[in-house]
Chains A and B, each alone.
Chain A
Amino acid sequence: MAKHHIHAQINGDDVEYLCETEETLLDVLRDTLHLTGSKEGCASGDCGACSVMLDGRLVCSCLVLGCEMHGRTVETIEGMAQGETLHPLQQRFLEHAALQCGICTPGVLVASKALLERNNDPTETEVRYWLAGNLCRCTGYDKIVTAVMDTAAAMRKG
Protein backbone atom coordinates (compact mmCIF):
# COMPACT_ATOMS: atom_id res chain seq x y z
CA MET A 1 0.00 0.00 0.00
CA ALA A 2 1.55 3.28 -1.09
CA LYS A 3 1.88 6.03 1.47
CA HIS A 4 -0.39 9.03 1.48
CA HIS A 5 1.07 12.26 0.16
CA ILE A 6 -0.24 15.10 2.27
CA HIS A 7 0.00 18.87 1.95
CA ALA A 8 -0.96 20.72 5.11
CA GLN A 9 -0.23 23.95 6.90
CA ILE A 10 1.53 23.61 10.22
CA ASN A 11 2.23 26.64 12.37
CA GLY A 12 1.81 28.82 9.32
CA ASP A 13 4.24 26.87 7.16
CA ASP A 14 3.29 24.83 4.11
CA VAL A 15 4.34 21.30 4.88
CA GLU A 16 4.48 18.15 2.77
CA TYR A 17 4.84 14.62 4.10
CA LEU A 18 4.21 10.94 3.46
CA CYS A 19 2.40 8.71 5.94
CA GLU A 20 0.84 5.28 6.34
CA THR A 21 -2.90 5.04 6.92
CA GLU A 22 -2.53 3.98 10.54
CA GLU A 23 -0.16 6.77 11.52
CA THR A 24 -1.80 9.40 13.67
CA LEU A 25 -1.20 13.12 13.35
CA LEU A 26 0.84 12.82 16.55
CA ASP A 27 3.07 10.17 14.97
CA VAL A 28 3.56 12.40 11.93
CA LEU A 29 4.33 15.51 13.99
CA ARG A 30 6.86 13.76 16.21
CA ASP A 31 8.49 11.14 13.99
CA THR A 32 8.23 12.56 10.48
CA LEU A 33 8.22 16.31 11.01
CA HIS A 34 10.41 16.23 14.14
CA LEU A 35 8.03 18.54 16.02
CA THR A 36 8.43 16.80 19.35
CA GLY A 37 6.72 19.47 21.44
CA SER A 38 3.44 17.52 21.36
CA LYS A 39 3.83 14.51 23.62
CA GLU A 40 2.46 11.00 23.73
CA GLY A 41 1.18 10.16 27.21
CA CYS A 42 -1.40 7.52 26.40
CA ALA A 43 -2.22 7.37 22.65
CA SER A 44 -5.90 7.01 23.59
CA GLY A 45 -7.13 10.57 24.05
CA ASP A 46 -7.19 10.39 27.85
CA CYS A 47 -4.34 12.68 28.85
CA GLY A 48 -4.25 15.65 26.45
CA ALA A 49 -0.46 15.81 26.24
CA CYS A 50 -0.76 15.67 22.45
CA SER A 51 -3.21 18.60 22.19
CA VAL A 52 -3.07 20.67 19.01
CA MET A 53 -5.40 23.02 17.18
CA LEU A 54 -6.89 21.56 13.98
CA ASP A 55 -8.57 24.19 11.82
CA GLY A 56 -9.04 26.25 14.95
CA ARG A 57 -10.49 23.41 17.01
CA LEU A 58 -8.77 21.91 20.07
CA VAL A 59 -8.18 18.18 19.51
CA CYS A 60 -5.95 15.31 20.63
CA SER A 61 -3.55 14.69 17.77
CA CYS A 62 -3.37 11.02 18.77
CA LEU A 63 -7.00 10.71 17.74
CA VAL A 64 -6.53 12.17 14.26
CA LEU A 65 -5.02 10.32 11.32
CA GLY A 66 -2.12 11.88 9.48
CA CYS A 67 -3.82 11.08 6.19
CA GLU A 68 -6.84 13.21 7.14
CA MET A 69 -4.72 16.37 7.10
CA HIS A 70 -4.72 17.22 3.41
CA GLY A 71 -5.45 20.92 3.06
CA ARG A 72 -5.91 21.41 6.79
CA THR A 73 -4.19 23.76 9.22
CA VAL A 74 -2.54 22.63 12.42
CA GLU A 75 -1.15 24.73 15.25
CA THR A 76 1.17 23.11 17.75
CA ILE A 77 3.05 24.35 20.81
CA GLU A 78 5.98 25.19 18.56
CA GLY A 79 3.90 27.92 16.95
CA MET A 80 2.73 29.57 20.14
CA ALA A 81 5.56 32.03 20.69
CA GLN A 82 6.05 34.80 18.13
CA GLY A 83 9.74 34.91 17.34
CA GLU A 84 11.43 35.70 20.65
CA THR A 85 8.23 36.88 22.27
CA LEU A 86 6.47 34.33 24.41
CA HIS A 87 2.70 34.20 24.37
CA PRO A 88 1.30 35.77 27.57
CA LEU A 89 0.23 32.32 28.73
CA GLN A 90 3.75 30.97 28.32
CA GLN A 91 5.17 33.92 30.21
CA ARG A 92 2.70 33.62 33.06
CA PHE A 93 3.17 29.90 33.38
CA LEU A 94 6.82 30.62 34.09
CA GLU A 95 6.04 33.42 36.52
CA HIS A 96 3.51 31.35 38.44
CA ALA A 97 5.61 28.18 38.42
CA ALA A 98 2.65 26.47 36.74
CA LEU A 99 4.83 23.58 35.65
CA GLN A 100 7.13 21.14 37.43
CA CYS A 101 8.28 18.36 35.15
CA GLY A 102 6.83 20.10 32.11
CA ILE A 103 5.61 17.09 30.15
CA CYS A 104 1.95 18.15 30.24
CA THR A 105 2.80 21.80 29.69
CA PRO A 106 2.66 21.97 25.88
CA GLY A 107 -0.79 20.35 25.88
CA VAL A 108 -2.02 22.54 28.72
CA LEU A 109 -0.79 25.70 26.99
CA VAL A 110 -2.43 24.81 23.67
CA ALA A 111 -5.68 24.00 25.47
CA SER A 112 -5.56 27.16 27.59
CA LYS A 113 -4.92 29.31 24.54
CA ALA A 114 -7.96 27.75 22.89
CA LEU A 115 -10.03 28.61 25.95
CA LEU A 116 -8.95 32.23 26.19
CA GLU A 117 -9.58 32.75 22.48
CA ARG A 118 -13.19 31.74 23.06
CA ASN A 119 -13.78 33.10 26.52
CA ASN A 120 -11.58 35.88 27.81
CA ASP A 121 -13.19 35.93 31.25
CA PRO A 122 -13.53 32.33 32.39
CA THR A 123 -14.43 31.44 35.96
CA GLU A 124 -12.23 29.06 37.89
CA THR A 125 -14.78 26.30 37.29
CA GLU A 126 -14.83 26.97 33.56
CA VAL A 127 -11.05 26.77 33.41
CA ARG A 128 -10.98 23.52 35.33
CA TYR A 129 -13.65 21.84 33.20
CA TRP A 130 -12.10 23.06 29.96
CA LEU A 131 -8.73 21.62 31.05
CA ALA A 132 -10.18 18.36 32.42
CA GLY A 133 -8.76 16.56 29.43
CA ASN A 134 -5.20 17.63 30.28
CA LEU A 135 -3.79 15.39 32.98
CA CYS A 136 -1.10 16.78 35.23
CA ARG A 137 0.46 14.63 37.92
CA CYS A 138 2.93 17.10 39.34
CA THR A 139 1.23 20.39 40.11
CA GLY A 140 -2.19 19.43 41.42
CA TYR A 141 -3.49 22.00 38.88
CA ASP A 142 -3.53 24.90 41.35
CA LYS A 143 -0.84 27.06 39.77
CA ILE A 144 -1.98 26.14 36.27
CA VAL A 145 -5.45 27.51 36.98
CA THR A 146 -4.01 30.60 38.63
CA ALA A 147 -1.75 31.25 35.65
CA VAL A 148 -4.59 30.88 33.15
CA MET A 149 -6.92 33.20 35.06
CA ASP A 150 -4.18 35.72 35.64
CA THR A 151 -3.38 35.70 31.92
CA ALA A 152 -7.05 36.19 31.10
CA ALA A 153 -7.19 39.20 33.40
CA ALA A 154 -4.05 40.68 31.87
CA MET A 155 -5.28 40.12 28.34
CA ARG A 156 -8.59 41.77 29.17
CA LYS A 157 -6.72 44.83 30.37
CA GLY A 158 -5.18 44.87 26.93
Chain B
Amino acid sequence: MRYEAPDSVEGAVALLAGARGDARVLAGGTDLLVQMRADILDPELIVDIKKISETRTITEEKGGWRIGAAVTGAELKEHTKLKKAWPGVVEAANLIGSTQVQGRATLGGNLCNGSPAADSVPALIAAGAVATLAGPQGRRDLPVEDVMLGPRKLALQKGEIVVSFLLPPKHPRSSDAYLRFIPRTEMDIAVVGAGVSLTVDGGGVITAARVGLGAVAARVLLVTEAAQAIIGSRLDEAAQGRLEAAARAVCRPIDDKRGTVDFRVDVAAVLTRRAALIALDRARAN
Protein backbone atom coordinates (compact mmCIF):
# COMPACT_ATOMS: atom_id res chain seq x y z
CA MET B 1 0.00 0.00 0.00
CA ARG B 2 1.53 3.32 -1.08
CA TYR B 3 1.27 6.55 0.88
CA GLU B 4 1.92 9.88 -0.75
CA ALA B 5 1.58 13.37 0.71
CA PRO B 6 1.74 15.89 -2.17
CA ASP B 7 1.99 19.58 -1.37
CA SER B 8 -0.06 20.80 -4.33
CA VAL B 9 -3.51 20.18 -5.74
CA GLU B 10 -2.01 19.32 -9.13
CA GLY B 11 0.21 16.75 -7.49
CA ALA B 12 -2.72 15.12 -5.74
CA VAL B 13 -4.81 15.07 -8.90
CA ALA B 14 -1.98 13.53 -10.91
CA LEU B 15 -1.47 10.78 -8.36
CA LEU B 16 -5.17 9.93 -8.20
CA ALA B 17 -5.73 10.14 -11.93
CA GLY B 18 -2.72 7.96 -12.62
CA ALA B 19 -3.47 5.28 -10.06
CA ARG B 20 -3.99 1.80 -11.45
CA GLY B 21 -5.75 0.23 -8.50
CA ASP B 22 -8.02 1.70 -5.84
CA ALA B 23 -6.76 5.11 -4.71
CA ARG B 24 -8.21 7.00 -1.74
CA VAL B 25 -7.87 10.49 -0.42
CA LEU B 26 -6.77 10.81 3.19
CA ALA B 27 -7.85 13.90 5.08
CA GLY B 28 -8.87 13.21 8.68
CA GLY B 29 -8.88 9.46 8.22
CA THR B 30 -11.82 8.97 10.54
CA ASP B 31 -13.74 7.04 7.87
CA LEU B 32 -10.92 5.69 5.69
CA LEU B 33 -8.94 4.02 8.48
CA VAL B 34 -12.06 2.44 9.96
CA GLN B 35 -13.04 0.97 6.59
CA MET B 36 -9.52 -0.29 5.97
CA ARG B 37 -9.42 -2.02 9.34
CA ALA B 38 -12.82 -3.60 8.64
CA ASP B 39 -11.57 -4.97 5.31
CA ILE B 40 -14.14 -2.95 3.41
CA LEU B 41 -11.40 -1.04 1.60
CA ASP B 42 -7.94 -2.20 0.59
CA PRO B 43 -6.52 0.73 -1.40
CA GLU B 44 -3.33 0.47 -3.37
CA LEU B 45 -2.62 4.16 -2.92
CA ILE B 46 -3.42 6.68 -0.20
CA VAL B 47 -3.09 10.35 -1.11
CA ASP B 48 -2.79 12.53 1.99
CA ILE B 49 -3.99 16.04 1.07
CA LYS B 50 -3.18 17.71 4.41
CA LYS B 51 0.10 19.15 3.14
CA ILE B 52 -1.79 21.13 0.49
CA SER B 53 -2.21 24.52 2.14
CA GLU B 54 -5.28 25.38 0.09
CA THR B 55 -7.14 22.53 1.79
CA ARG B 56 -6.20 23.69 5.27
CA THR B 57 -7.17 27.34 5.40
CA ILE B 58 -10.23 29.39 6.31
CA THR B 59 -10.34 32.71 4.49
CA GLU B 60 -12.90 35.40 3.80
CA GLU B 61 -13.68 35.57 0.10
CA LYS B 62 -15.96 38.04 -1.67
CA GLY B 63 -17.94 38.50 1.54
CA GLY B 64 -18.28 34.79 2.02
CA TRP B 65 -16.05 32.15 3.56
CA ARG B 66 -13.76 29.69 1.82
CA ILE B 67 -13.08 26.64 3.96
CA GLY B 68 -10.41 24.14 2.94
CA ALA B 69 -11.65 20.57 2.53
CA ALA B 70 -9.16 19.31 5.12
CA VAL B 71 -9.90 21.81 7.88
CA THR B 72 -10.93 19.89 11.00
CA GLY B 73 -14.13 20.32 12.96
CA ALA B 74 -12.13 21.43 15.99
CA GLU B 75 -10.44 24.16 13.92
CA LEU B 76 -13.82 25.32 12.66
CA LYS B 77 -15.07 25.56 16.22
CA GLU B 78 -12.12 27.70 17.22
CA HIS B 79 -12.66 30.17 14.39
CA THR B 80 -14.72 32.81 16.17
CA LYS B 81 -15.80 34.79 13.12
CA LEU B 82 -16.84 31.77 11.10
CA LYS B 83 -18.71 30.36 14.06
CA LYS B 84 -20.58 33.63 14.44
CA ALA B 85 -21.45 33.77 10.75
CA TRP B 86 -22.42 30.14 10.30
CA PRO B 87 -23.18 28.58 13.70
CA GLY B 88 -25.18 25.79 12.06
CA VAL B 89 -22.33 24.65 9.83
CA VAL B 90 -19.84 24.78 12.67
CA GLU B 91 -22.07 22.96 15.14
CA ALA B 92 -22.84 20.30 12.55
CA ALA B 93 -19.17 19.64 11.95
CA ASN B 94 -18.67 19.41 15.69
CA LEU B 95 -21.30 16.77 16.14
CA ILE B 96 -19.31 14.27 14.10
CA GLY B 97 -18.11 11.58 16.51
CA SER B 98 -16.28 12.55 19.65
CA THR B 99 -13.91 15.31 20.71
CA GLN B 100 -11.11 13.07 19.44
CA VAL B 101 -12.80 12.56 16.08
CA GLN B 102 -13.48 16.28 15.74
CA GLY B 103 -9.76 16.81 16.15
CA ARG B 104 -9.30 15.11 12.78
CA ALA B 105 -12.59 14.91 10.85
CA THR B 106 -13.06 17.30 7.94
CA LEU B 107 -15.91 18.70 5.87
CA GLY B 108 -14.34 17.24 2.73
CA GLY B 109 -14.09 13.79 4.20
CA ASN B 110 -17.55 13.93 5.70
CA LEU B 111 -19.01 14.71 2.28
CA CYS B 112 -16.87 12.37 0.20
CA ASN B 113 -17.44 9.38 2.48
CA GLY B 114 -20.78 9.33 0.73
CA SER B 115 -23.05 8.62 3.68
CA PRO B 116 -26.50 10.20 3.57
CA ALA B 117 -26.26 10.42 7.36
CA ALA B 118 -23.20 12.69 7.30
CA ASP B 119 -23.69 15.42 9.89
CA SER B 120 -22.11 18.39 8.14
CA VAL B 121 -23.78 17.95 4.77
CA PRO B 122 -27.36 19.06 5.57
CA ALA B 123 -25.93 22.19 7.18
CA LEU B 124 -23.67 22.90 4.19
CA ILE B 125 -26.57 22.41 1.82
CA ALA B 126 -28.80 24.68 3.88
CA ALA B 127 -26.06 27.28 3.83
CA GLY B 128 -25.87 27.13 0.06
CA ALA B 129 -22.29 25.92 0.11
CA VAL B 130 -20.53 25.27 -3.17
CA ALA B 131 -17.73 22.72 -3.45
CA THR B 132 -14.70 23.55 -5.57
CA LEU B 133 -13.36 20.44 -7.27
CA ALA B 134 -10.03 19.98 -8.99
CA GLY B 135 -9.35 17.21 -11.48
CA PRO B 136 -7.38 16.29 -14.58
CA GLN B 137 -9.66 18.58 -16.67
CA GLY B 138 -9.14 21.51 -14.31
CA ARG B 139 -11.38 23.04 -11.67
CA ARG B 140 -15.12 23.25 -11.42
CA ASP B 141 -17.71 24.25 -8.85
CA LEU B 142 -20.58 22.07 -7.76
CA PRO B 143 -23.30 22.89 -5.20
CA VAL B 144 -22.83 20.52 -2.27
CA GLU B 145 -26.26 18.97 -2.81
CA ASP B 146 -25.04 17.75 -6.21
CA VAL B 147 -21.84 16.09 -4.97
CA MET B 148 -23.29 13.07 -3.16
CA LEU B 149 -25.45 11.06 -5.55
CA GLY B 150 -26.19 8.09 -3.32
CA PRO B 151 -24.59 5.92 -0.65
CA ARG B 152 -20.85 5.89 -1.48
CA LYS B 153 -21.63 7.40 -4.90
CA LEU B 154 -20.12 10.77 -5.71
CA ALA B 155 -20.30 13.03 -8.74
CA LEU B 156 -16.49 13.18 -8.78
CA GLN B 157 -14.60 11.95 -11.85
CA LYS B 158 -11.52 9.80 -11.52
CA GLY B 159 -8.70 11.95 -10.23
CA GLU B 160 -11.03 14.68 -8.92
CA ILE B 161 -10.85 15.90 -5.36
CA VAL B 162 -12.78 18.42 -3.32
CA VAL B 163 -10.39 21.27 -2.58
CA SER B 164 -12.55 23.67 -0.62
CA PHE B 165 -16.05 24.90 0.12
CA LEU B 166 -17.35 28.41 -0.42
CA LEU B 167 -20.05 29.67 1.90
CA PRO B 168 -21.93 32.57 0.32
CA PRO B 169 -22.05 36.06 1.80
CA LYS B 170 -24.54 36.32 4.58
CA HIS B 171 -27.31 38.79 4.91
CA PRO B 172 -27.04 40.52 8.30
CA ARG B 173 -30.41 39.20 9.48
CA SER B 174 -29.78 35.59 8.69
CA SER B 175 -28.48 32.54 10.48
CA ASP B 176 -28.52 28.80 10.40
CA ALA B 177 -28.91 25.80 12.69
CA TYR B 178 -28.34 22.06 12.55
CA LEU B 179 -30.02 19.41 14.65
CA ARG B 180 -29.70 15.70 14.52
CA PHE B 181 -31.45 12.86 16.24
CA ILE B 182 -29.39 10.17 17.87
CA PRO B 183 -30.48 7.68 20.54
CA ARG B 184 -27.67 8.62 22.94
CA THR B 185 -26.40 12.15 23.52
CA GLU B 186 -23.16 11.72 21.55
CA MET B 187 -21.23 9.30 19.37
CA ASP B 188 -24.06 7.92 17.22
CA ILE B 189 -24.55 8.24 13.49
CA ALA B 190 -27.45 10.61 12.80
CA VAL B 191 -30.78 8.87 12.48
CA VAL B 192 -32.08 12.11 11.02
CA GLY B 193 -30.17 15.35 10.38
CA ALA B 194 -31.82 18.69 9.63
CA GLY B 195 -30.05 21.89 8.59
CA VAL B 196 -31.95 25.13 8.16
CA SER B 197 -30.65 28.50 7.05
CA LEU B 198 -32.92 31.51 6.78
CA THR B 199 -33.07 35.26 6.43
CA VAL B 200 -35.67 37.59 7.95
CA ASP B 201 -36.62 41.13 7.07
CA GLY B 202 -36.96 44.04 9.50
CA GLY B 203 -40.43 42.87 10.44
CA GLY B 204 -39.36 39.34 11.28
CA VAL B 205 -40.79 37.80 8.12
CA ILE B 206 -38.71 35.06 6.50
CA THR B 207 -37.58 36.22 3.10
CA ALA B 208 -35.24 33.39 2.19
CA ALA B 209 -34.66 29.86 3.44
CA ARG B 210 -32.87 26.65 2.61
CA VAL B 211 -33.48 23.26 4.22
CA GLY B 212 -31.17 20.24 4.07
CA LEU B 213 -32.32 16.84 5.35
CA GLY B 214 -29.99 13.92 5.98
CA ALA B 215 -30.39 10.21 6.68
CA VAL B 216 -33.90 10.07 5.29
CA ALA B 217 -33.10 9.17 1.68
CA ALA B 218 -30.33 7.73 -0.47
CA ARG B 219 -28.64 11.14 -0.53
CA VAL B 220 -28.81 14.29 1.55
CA LEU B 221 -31.75 16.30 0.28
CA LEU B 222 -32.19 19.97 -0.49
CA VAL B 223 -35.85 20.36 0.39
CA THR B 224 -37.11 23.33 -1.63
CA GLU B 225 -40.74 22.63 -0.70
CA ALA B 226 -39.85 22.97 2.97
CA ALA B 227 -38.18 26.32 2.33
CA GLN B 228 -41.18 27.54 0.33
CA ALA B 229 -43.45 26.48 3.18
CA ILE B 230 -41.98 29.11 5.47
CA ILE B 231 -40.89 31.92 3.18
CA GLY B 232 -43.20 34.84 3.69
CA SER B 233 -44.14 33.73 7.20
CA ARG B 234 -42.95 34.43 10.72
CA LEU B 235 -42.79 30.69 11.31
CA ASP B 236 -46.13 30.74 13.10
CA GLU B 237 -47.83 27.46 13.93
CA ALA B 238 -49.43 27.14 10.53
CA ALA B 239 -46.10 27.65 8.81
CA GLN B 240 -44.51 25.13 11.15
CA GLY B 241 -47.20 22.66 10.17
CA ARG B 242 -46.53 23.21 6.47
CA LEU B 243 -42.81 22.88 7.12
CA GLU B 244 -43.28 19.55 8.87
CA ALA B 245 -45.53 18.25 6.13
CA ALA B 246 -42.99 19.18 3.47
CA ALA B 247 -40.24 17.44 5.41
CA ARG B 248 -42.35 14.31 5.78
CA ALA B 249 -43.31 14.24 2.13
CA VAL B 250 -39.75 14.18 0.89
CA CYS B 251 -38.52 11.36 3.16
CA ARG B 252 -37.73 8.05 1.55
CA PRO B 253 -35.89 6.39 4.46
CA ILE B 254 -35.00 2.82 5.23
CA ASP B 255 -35.49 0.52 8.18
CA ASP B 256 -32.13 -0.29 9.68
CA LYS B 257 -30.35 -0.87 12.96
CA ARG B 258 -30.53 2.85 13.69
CA GLY B 259 -34.19 3.62 13.04
CA THR B 260 -37.40 2.59 11.34
CA VAL B 261 -39.04 4.25 8.36
CA ASP B 262 -41.90 5.61 10.47
CA PHE B 263 -39.53 6.90 13.10
CA ARG B 264 -37.34 8.72 10.64
CA VAL B 265 -40.27 10.39 8.94
CA ASP B 266 -41.76 11.54 12.25
CA VAL B 267 -38.49 12.81 13.62
CA ALA B 268 -37.52 14.50 10.35
CA ALA B 269 -40.58 16.67 10.71
CA VAL B 270 -39.86 17.46 14.36
CA LEU B 271 -36.19 18.29 13.83
CA THR B 272 -36.81 20.43 10.78
CA ARG B 273 -39.25 22.49 12.78
CA ARG B 274 -36.95 22.75 15.78
CA ALA B 275 -33.93 23.66 13.65
CA ALA B 276 -35.92 26.32 11.85
CA LEU B 277 -36.98 27.85 15.16
CA ILE B 278 -33.40 27.97 16.37
CA ALA B 279 -32.22 29.51 13.10
CA LEU B 280 -35.00 32.07 13.38
CA ASP B 281 -33.98 33.00 16.94
CA ARG B 282 -30.38 33.38 15.82
CA ALA B 283 -31.37 35.41 12.76
CA ARG B 284 -33.49 37.77 14.83
CA ALA B 285 -30.67 38.22 17.34
CA ASN B 286 -28.23 39.19 14.59
User: Which chain A residues have a beta carbon within 8 Å of chain B's beta carbons?
Assistant: 1, 4, 20-22, 24, 43-46, 48, 51, 54, 57-60, 62-65, 67-68, 111, 114, 129-134
- Complexed CA–CA distance, A102 and B26 (Å): 33
Q: Is B37 an interface residue (CB 8 A)?
A: yes
How many angstroms between the C-alpha atoms of A129 and B187 in the bound complex?
Answer: 10
Number of interface residues of B (CB under 8 A): 28
In the bound complex, residues from chain B placing their C-beta under 8 Å from that of A43 are: 34, 37
Residues of B within 8 A of A (CB): 1-3, 5, 26, 28-30, 33-34, 36-38, 46, 48, 50, 72, 74, 97-101, 103-104, 185-187
Cβ–Cβ < 8 Å partners of B29 in chain A: 63-65, 68
Interface of A, helix, strand, loop or mixed by DSSP: mixed
Q: Using Cβ atoms and an 8 Å threshold, which residues of chain B touch A4?
A: 3
Known: A58-B103, A132-B187. A45 touches B34 (CB 8 A): yes
Cβ–Cβ < 8 Å partners of B3 in chain A: 4, 21, 65, 67
Verify A45–B101 contact, CB threshold 8 A. yes
**Whose C-beta in chain B lies nearest to the C-beta of A59?**
B103
In the bound complex, do residue B38 and residue A111 qualify as a contact, i.e. CB atoms below 8 Å apart?
no
Q: Which residues of chain B are within 8 angstroms of A21 by Cβ–Cβ distance?
A: 1-3, 46
**With A20-B1, A21-B3, A132-B99 in contact, is A57–B74 under 8 Å at CB?**
yes
Given contacts A20-B1, A21-B1, A46-B187, whether A133 and B101 have CB atoms under 8 Å apart is: yes
Residue among B26, B37, B72, B98 with most chain A CB within 10 A:
B98
Which residues of chain B are near A59, meaning CB under 8 Å? Answer: 100, 103-104
> Contacts A21-B2, A59-B103; is A65 near B26 (CB within 8 Å)?
yes
Please indicate the chain B residues that have their CB under 8 angstroms from the CB of A129 in the complex.
Answer: 185-186
